Chains A and B, each alone.
Chain A
Amino acid sequence: MKTREIIERTCKDEGAEHRDKAAEIAAAIRKRSAVAELVSEEEILSLLRAAWHETGEDIAAILIQLIEENKDLYKLSGAGSQFFYSTIHMTETYATILLNKMDGPMRLIAETVRQNAHVYQRPVLLDIFTKPPFDLTHDQVLEYLKTMAATESYDDIKAASTSASGIYLYSTTHLETEYAVMLAEWLDVGQSDNP
């Protein structure tokens, strides 16, 4: 169910206070998070305007209340906007992937590779991008990687091949090449040879 429907269904009192409106929006965000979707600020604003005919200052106040009074709601910035999600149903990790996805496949690939190298100290198998929530095809990833290789902002993203022909991606910002190559072999071949 989309946020508009949820709000329209729940907004029966034209004179509801900001607090009520914030609560209703919060409920809508939680429902969207439960189905693994982010809610953009624009979406909320347009719905506030449509459902309650709110304007300018009131909207800003409602948004502030929204975050202040609902400790499970978080805001992420990216893809030219701000996005809301509820940690009851979604972690920052997952929300960030969805955000990066909206920023385009190259940014999605790069940020995921960087995050893996930074947080886990590991390269990632190219194939993970062919599965949810990334949903790219193998050929698409290879194509984007070609473009990325010629793009300065992605010059830290490198690939390593394993003896089992696996292609692993890593960020030189967080992982030395020799270490990344060794880890790729361990992850692709070593672990399955040592179950």
Chain B
Amino acid sequence: MRRSGGWSGKILRVDLSTGRIWTENTVERYKDYLGGTGIGYKIIWDEVPAGTRPYDPENRIIFAVGPLAGTGAPSSGRTAITSLWPTCWPVPLVASGHMGGQFAAELKYAGYDAVVIQGKADHPVWLMIADQKVEIHDARRIWGRGIRDATYAITEIMGQDTTVAAIGQAGENLVPMSVVVNAVSHSAGGVGSVMGSKNLKAIGIRGTGSVRIAGKKEDWEKLIKYHLSLLGANNQHVVPNSPQPWAEFYDPNSRWNAAKGRRWGAAAHPVDTGTCDPHDTNRIAYRSNTAAYFLGDIAWKHTVRGNGCTSCPIRCHTILSVPAVTAKYGIPSVGHDTCVGLVFGRSFFKELPDGPKGMTGMEACMVGKHLADDLGVWCNYGQLQRDFIKLYYDGVIEKKLGSREFKRYSWSKYEKGDPAFLFELLPRIAMKEGELGTVLGLGTGYILERWSLSEQQWEKDKDLQYWKLGHPKHHASEEAGQCGMLINLMYNRDAQCHAHTNFIRNGLPLPLQKKLAAGIWGAPEAVDGVGDYKPMHRAKARMAKWSLLRKELHDSLSLCGWMGPWVASPLKERGYRGDNSIESMLYRLATGDNKDREELDKVAERIFLLHRALTIRGMGTKEMRVHHDKIPEWVYTDKSGKPPFTKGTTRLDRNDVQVALDMFYDELGWDKATGAPTARAYQKSGLDNVADTLSKQNLVPA
């Protein structure tokens, strides 16, 4: 190894029960797990015994970043937060939440690759990290206040350069559907209440150091420029959404929605986003206006500019200015967010007076995001809203609440699509107020259990998007056939994997996608047209495995899994090829550890295996194929009765799904009968001790 870089070198450990603060050496203990989720899974495996509950003091909450955080590599601003998951049903298992913002880089600049919290403080506290100075402070003054107030209060103490990750009232009140938020709008779902259970209101970080790059400065700069040259728009869409003079292809559903005449209308001086030729890497930030993508053309005139995470040129958190909402709802007129966070409020309504992309929809988004980001309520990738709509319109809420509580809500306001209704609902979730407030904060699985509803009912309804373990699908079979289905089997919450969908939705015509797929996954059959699925093929299993490894790799390096991978590009002269080795190229130069793509993928596989081992240990069974890798019934249905493998249906075939599972387990070197990794699979990844431990509990296939 040449001179080392990338890692800060220390992991900060804090025991809130005892007040003890200490550090560990990252490279000595965790280099084989890179960072992020790799460190998270390893610590949970080593230190949190099976049977531990999410709110037990023995549970850990691990805020971990990777060797690329703080290096300036594009889209390297992600923090992985790993813990036992409160909404995972019926048994809490390991999972991770992910936030962008400035936390990851700031942590590195303070000198740490991770902060690991254990124990429980005897009163509310917040953690101050100012380089080497780490202190536990009394948080009683800010307990009970929203995330925004807490952020400002801590910033007052630590200084304007501080990054604060805080929970709101939802996390404090142990609402499982709660988030931690840094930089005011960058949230990680599911873990707010784990912080709350430890009486930890917030972590404030101010770092004045830097991250060493092992390679030569000129090589690093060259690599960054190369990486930037391959970038598309939000979600690595590589074609514009309308015809542009430079573009051979376009896709109206692309998130590359810049064009001459489309302006950031609420900027002090309106900015024309222009044609955005892909060779002009200084204009990458103009390519995507995610607010316009989600809210429609009406968003352009309310757009101030893009915002986003440290060193990410995509800027997917579009800043909106909607002055009307201040007078109307008493909330700030400016806000920024993206994806489900942006549409948090709108998604509660089945009907809106002027449609989903009208002004009311935008107001609902502003109200929803301000409330959710302050109270710290999580949407579970929109499942909260889908559950709410289903429960209300099926009459379940009325039946379960009793008339007294039911009448406390302005249901006529709700049915008319009045965003003001959100002021009645969201604070009650955060405060666990009443039966409805309490129930909605539990997460789907626990709602079903508490109200004696059948999970099967949720599994049958495609529109609910429910998958398993109390969580929804995340880019599954409906858009990626067997590959999407396989990916969604693996996790204990929604899969959060975008490697496959970012390729499928990149906007290139299918024949070109197939050509690229052949180069990456060995055969063009890896990808099908949406709704034109063909029987299982080995290349689909390879694509699924690759997608999962890329997810773990990104989560462990701090690269954004929403923006990458970068295997397609907007460059015609490259035949639209991206580069499958960008991650390893960045890793090598940053750390000085000369792993190539294949070697780094093996590390990703080790991390992914550890997640599987934790799941097996947590469930106490090796019969994963039957008990964990469950497929909801809606996957096998089609409203018009179309059979599988006919054009126009996303319906999968039961036998073919079994073939897909066989191929996938085989591709991973796992046992086909149980779906559990074999001892050899663990050993090949250097996880002999994991194999030994699980073998003793009869959790490894013979």
Contact = CB atoms under 8 A, between A and B. Distances in A.
Interface string B326-362: 0000000000000110010000000000011000000
A33 B294 contact: no
B510 interface: yes
Interface in B164-187: none
B478 interface: yes
Interface stretch (B252-260, B552-560, B576-584): B252-260
B247 interface: yes
Contact of A165 (B339, B355, B478): B355
A114 B283 CA distance: 32
A190 B340 CA distance: 14
B245 A121 contact: no
Given A119-B509, A182-B648, A195-B294, A93 B531 contact: no
B529 interface: yes
A43 B531 CA distance: 47
A93 B243 contact: yes
Contacts of A49: none
B339 A93 contact: no
Given A36-B245, A190-B479, A120 B509 contact: yes
Interface string B250-287: 11110000011100000000000000000000000000
Contacts of B294: 192, 195
A97 B243 contact: yes
Interface stretch (A58-66, A75-83, A126-134, A146-154): A126-134
Contacts of B415: none
B475 interface: yes
B623 to A, nearest CB: 30
A48 B91 CA distance: 81
**Majority secondary structure, A binding face:** helix
A144 interface: no
A115 B135 CA distance: 63
B244 interface: yes
A193 interface: yes
Nearest to A35: B245
B256 to A, nearest CB: 14
Nearest to A188: B253
A140 interface: no
A176 B242 contact: no
Interface string A51-63: 0000000000000
Contact of B253 (A178, A179, A191, A193): A191
B123 interface: no
B479 A178 contact: no
A179 to B, nearest CB: 4
Interface string B461-478: 000010000000001001
Interface stretch (A3-11, A12-20, A23-31, A84-92): A84-92
Given A179-B531, A194-B465, A94 B648 contact: no
Contacts of B247: 91, 93-94
Interface string A164-175: 110000000000
A76 B171 CA distance: 63
B193 interface: no
A187 interface: yes
A182 B245 CA distance: 30
Nearest to A192: B294
A89 B242 CA distance: 16
Nearest to A175: B647
A145 interface: no
A67 interface: no
Contacts of A182: 531, 648-649
Contacts of A186: 478-479, 530-531
Interface in B527-546: 529-532
B152 interface: no
A194 B475 contact: yes
Interface residues of A, number: 34
Contact of A121 (B250, B259, B505, B510): B510
A91 B249 CA distance: 9
Contacts of A92: 248
A44 interface: no
Contact of A128 (B242, B340, B509, B649): B242
A187 B254 CA distance: 11
Contact of B245 (A94, A164, A193): A94
Contacts of A119: 249, 509
A142 B217 CA distance: 58
A99 interface: no
A195 B339 contact: yes
A192 B339 CA distance: 9
Nearest to B508: A120
A53 to B, nearest CB: 34
A33 B275 CA distance: 14
Contacts of A128: 242, 252
B242 A120 contact: no
B648 A89 contact: no
A128 to B, nearest CB: 5
B226 interface: no
Nearest to A134: B243
A107 to B, nearest CB: 16
Query: Which of B242, B261, B647: most chain A CB closer than 10 A?
Result: B647
A181 interface: yes
Contacts of B253: 187, 191
B246 interface: yes
A71 B532 CA distance: 39
A91 B478 contact: no
A141 interface: no
B411 to A, nearest CB: 24
Instruction: Find the residue from B245, B343, B505, B510 having the highest chain A CB count within 10 A.
Output: B245
B479 A133 contact: no
Contacts of A94: 243-247
B259 A132 contact: yes
A144 B242 CA distance: 21
A124 interface: yes
Contacts of A165: 355
A183 B252 CA distance: 13
A136 to B, nearest CB: 13
Interface string A89-130: 111111001000000000000000000000111001100100
Contacts of B251: 120
A119 to B, nearest CB: 5
A164 to B, nearest CB: 7
Nearest to B250: A93
Contact of A179 (B260, B475, B648): B648
A183 B531 contact: yes
B527 to A, nearest CB: 13
Contacts of B475: 194
Nearest to B251: A120
Given A94-B243, A94-B245, A178-B647, A132 B509 contact: no
Nearest to A95: B245
A125 B252 contact: yes
Contact of B505 (A90, A97, A178, A191): A191
A181 B478 contact: no
Contacts of A121: 509-510, 529, 532
Nearest to B505: A191
Contacts of B647: 176, 178-179
A144 to B, nearest CB: 19
18 contacts: A91-B246, A94-B245, A97-B243, A120-B251, A120-B510, A121-B510, A131-B242, A131-B259, A178-B642, A183-B530, A183-B531, A186-B479, A187-B253, A190-B479, A191-B253, A194-B475, A194-B479, A195-B343
Given A119-B249, A132-B260, 20 more contacts: A90-B245, A92-B248, A94-B245, A97-B243, A120-B251, A120-B509, A120-B510, A121-B529, A121-B532, A128-B242, A132-B242, A179-B532, A179-B648, A182-B649, A183-B648, A191-B253, A193-B382, A194-B465, A194-B475, A194-B478
Ranked nearest first, the 4 interchain pairs of A and B with the lowest CB-CB distance are: A182-B648, A179-B648, A178-B648, A179-B647
